[in-house]
Amino acid sequence: MQSESAAALKQRIDNRSAVIGIIGLGYVGLPLMKSFHLAGFPVLGFDVDPEKIEMLKAGQNYLAHLGKDLAREMVDAGRFDATCDFARLGEADAVLICVPTPLGKHMEPDLSYVEQSTDAVAATLRAGQLVVLESTTYPATTREVMLPRLEAKGLTCGNDFFLAFSPEREDPGRADFSTQTIPKLVGGIDAISGDLATHLYKQAIEKVIAVSTAEVAEAAKLLENIYRSVNIALINEMKVLLTAMNIDVWEVVDAAATKPFGFQAFYPGPGLGGHCIPIDPFYLSWKARELGMPTRFIELAGEINHHMPDFVVERTARALNRRGKAVQGARILVLGLAYKPDVDDVRESPSFELIERLQDLGAEVDYNDPHVAETHKMRRYDLGMKSVPLSAESLAGYDAVVVSTHHKAYDWQMIADKAQLIIDTRGALRQVTGARDHIVSA
């Protein structure tokens, strides 16, 4: 039987009066806020970055792929507010946590952002609130890390408040799916928590799939990303082998993909990028070590993928050497700072590692990215660089050009015609015409 708190929350969800609080207004939280706002709910955003809050309240959007009018439309509708004051969390009927879950120095899970957010929610927790974690993490985080913190003041989960896990599935810049159309998994700590969270998401998301527990939802998200990591590692290993055999790996993948069943195409690159694939598999391998169980596929895939920047640097050094030029003192341009094409998302981008490794070898390195005007301080990197102009004249001044991200904005034929030496990590120049002896696959 539903408690009074559960019944009251369901009624507020049904009449669209439930205030939806979002902690973390980045690549996950901001589009999620947009989805609930479009569904007619009042939304209240929380972030530790005052600059983000000021921009949103002024109607300005800092994530270009979501559209420049996103914040303005929310402000004009009068059902939106944003704040750095986490004491206001008690105003929200549902609190959705969308914070980073990075790795520590020893590849161990860093749950500090989840813990801090949970403690902030616990400080104002009241009867009738629903709390949902969206950040990717190892199974049992919601139950073992969040639940004790939230119940510490005497409220009971499933009766007074409600707790669930619903993994984010964002893919920034993707045109064929949006937050509203990507199917949503939801798993509760208990049955009533799962039912309420599922009911809430159904108001804003087209398809919501309820699973039996929070642990199933947590594990499903990790499986999605581990599947990609392992298959990317396989094709990266194939790239190294086929390159040594002077066989075009991209043509091989395209050929294999003509089979209408039993094969899904994955493509190689200079390393892994984004917040998910380079990080999430290690959350499960860490948990497995705690249980004394091996995760050989996960760890081998991580080893291969993390080695790819080394392979690119080695290929660059060899290509320069064949032209009588050392890496030390060479002028090198890296094309693309974002981790994927046509977005400004640089989280865990392998371009940063390429730049640092080339600089460590004594190269003078610049970058160009039409979507990223300058670098900013990150957890691992603080390059302090600005995107340099790209032109036929500027290309001719570099000893080598390393293609790290294949943005559509690039004129690959012009680049092929004007650059002295090109290290192509993405197969971006496969279709260019004319001389190709200066284009090296890596």
CATH superfamily of 4-212: NAD(P)-binding Rossmann-like Domain (3.40.50.720)
User: How distant, in Å, are the alpha carbons of 93, 95, 145, 151 from that of 154?
Assistant: 18, 19, 16, 6
- Range 150-161 average pLDDT: 96
- Range 257-276 average pLDDT: 87
> What pLDDT does 278 receive?
67
For residue 67 the two structure tokens come to 């559209």
- Range 40-55 average pLDDT: 95
For residue 440 the two structure tokens come to 């090296």
Q: How far apart are CA 376 and CA 228, in angstroms?
A: 28
The four Cα atoms 375, 381, 382, 386 give a dihedral, to 10 degrees, of -30
Q: How far apart are CA 74 and CA 43, in angstroms?
A: 9
For residue 350 the two structure tokens come to 């392998």
Cβ contact 381:372 at 8 Å: no
User: How distant, in Å, are the alpha carbons of 47, 173, 311, 368, 387 from that of 376?
Assistant: 18, 20, 26, 15, 12
Q: Indicate if the pLDDT at residue 274 is higher than 70.
A: no
Q: Up-side HSE of residue 226: CA atoms within 13 Å toward CB?
A: 20
Q: How far apart are CA 33 and CA 41, in angstroms?
A: 9
> What pLDDT does 106 receive?
74
Q: How far apart are CA 316 and CA 367, in angstroms?
A: 15
Q: How far apart are CA 211 and CA 223, in angstroms?
A: 15
Q: Indicate if the pLDDT at residue 205 is higher than 90.
A: yes
> What pLDDT does 178 receive?
86
CATH superfamily of 245-441: NAD(P)-binding Rossmann-like Domain (3.40.50.720)
- Range 2-22 average pLDDT: 94
Residue type, 1: M
3-state secondary structure of 232: helix
For residue 382 the two structure tokens come to 């603080």
- Range 256-262 average pLDDT: 95
- Range 73-95 average pLDDT: 94
> What pLDDT does 1 receive?
64
Q: How far apart are CA 294 and CA 359, in angstroms?
A: 37
Confidence of residue 75 (pLDDT cuts 50, 70, 90): confident
Angle, helices 249-256 vs 214-244, to 10°: value is 130
Taking the domains of the chain in order of start, what are their residue ranges?
A: 4-212, 245-441
User: How distant, in Å, are the alpha carbons of 116, 128, 143, 146 from that of 119?
Assistant: 5, 18, 14, 8
DSSP letter for 161, please.
B
Alpha helices in 291-401 (DSSP H): 296-322, 350-360, 392-396
Question: For this structure, is 276 an active site residue?
Answer: yes
Confidence of residue 406 (pLDDT cuts 50, 70, 90): very high
What predicted TM-score, i.e. pTM, was given to this entire model?
0.89
8-17, 128-137, 229-238, 280-289: least confident range:
280-289
**Which of 284, 338, 7, 296 minimizes the C-alpha distance to 162?**
7
**CA angle centred on 236, ends 235 and 242, rounded to 5°:** 80
> How many C-beta atoms surround the C-beta of residue 191 within 10 A?
12
Confidence of residue 64 (pLDDT cuts 50, 70, 90): confident
Point out the catalytic residue in the list 84, 98, 157, 276: 276
**Which of 289, 305, 27, 296 minimizes the C-alpha distance to 138?**
289
Asked if the domains 4-212 and 245-441 are classified in one and the same CATH topology, the answer is yes
Give, for 45, the enclosing helix (H) or strand (E).
Answer: strand 43-46
Q: How far apart are CA 372 and CA 382, in angstroms?
A: 14
> What pLDDT does 275 receive?
65
> What pLDDT does 103 receive?
81
Looking at every residue in the chain, the average pLDDT score rounds to 92
User: How distant, in Å, are the alpha carbons of 189, 293, 403 from that of 218?
Assistant: 11, 19, 35
> What pLDDT does 397 receive?
95
Q: How far apart are CA 335 and CA 337, in angstroms?
A: 7
